[in-house]
């Protein structure tokens, strides 16, 4: 997506220092056995998710549609593997992982595609595997939005609705919280961070 090719460095500068995201990544890293595989959907520049996870001795596969983002990711996190693809189009048999993460990438999809991706994610996870999600806290489906000066469409859920969607797709919600984060140059955002688990 050319939008993100243009915004790669600016996006990282403003959004890579979210303490709530870092805390959830570190929590997932601690829950997984050493060397576990993690699939990062919409991995962006690899910072902070892939970087923190590889530093915690996990094997990371990051997927992103933006070559500009991936170029930075490969430079910054050489220990991870990065795949240029639209993650919603990944095969059901893409692999099995101890965890899947999706920080602010699902919101670029329609709600129908979010649900299709959650169904695939369930299949990619090993039994008792974890799903970590970061979303913007609002209710909408493919609404026009100005993202760092670029027009995009975004979808979102309120906290209770996101929990219900995760449970409807077979996950157990371990924790979910709504927080306020202010990017470096942007207005404050209400965000939701969820940790869910596939049953044994």
Cα(194)–Cα(200) distance, rounded to whole angstroms? 19
Say if residue 134's pLDDT is above 50. Answer: yes
Mean pLDDT of 143-151: 77
Give the residue-averaged pLDDT of 179-190.
86
Res. 119: pLDDT tops 70: yes
Indicate the average pLDDT of the chain: 91
More reliable by pLDDT, 14 or 18: 18
- Check if the beta carbon of residue 173 is closer than 8 Å to that of residue 166: yes
C-alpha distances out from residue 176 to 26, 71, 113, 160, 169, Å: 15, 32, 21, 9, 16
Q: Please give the pLDDT value at position 1.
A: 47
Q: Can you say how many angstroms the Cα of residue 57 is from the centroid of all Cα atoms in its chain?
A: 19
């Amino acid at each position: 997506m050319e939008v993100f090719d243009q915004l790669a460095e600016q996006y990282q500068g403003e959004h890579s220092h979210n303490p709530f995201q870092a805390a959830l990544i570190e929590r997932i890293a601690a829950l997984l056995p050493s060397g576990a595989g993690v699939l990062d959907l919409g991995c962006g520049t690899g910072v902070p998710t892939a970087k923190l996870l590889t530093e915690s001795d996990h094997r990371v596969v990051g997927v992103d549609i933006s070559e500009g983002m991936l170029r930075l990711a490969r430079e910054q996190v050489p220990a991870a593997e990065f795949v240029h693809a639209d993650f919603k189009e990944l095969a059901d048999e893409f692999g099995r992982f101890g965890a899947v993460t999706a920080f602010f990438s699902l919101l670029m999809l329609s709600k129908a595609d979010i649900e299709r991706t959650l169904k695939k994610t369930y299949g990619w996870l090993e039994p008792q595997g974890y799903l970590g999600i970061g979303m913007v806290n609002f209710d909408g489906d493919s609404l026009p939005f100005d993202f760092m000066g670029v027009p995009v469409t975004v979808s979102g859920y309120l906290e209770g609705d996101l929990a219900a969607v995760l449970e409807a797709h077979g996950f157990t919600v371990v924790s979910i919280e709504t927080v306020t984060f202010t990017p470096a140059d942007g207005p404050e955002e209400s965000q939701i961070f969820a940790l869910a688990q596939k049953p044994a």
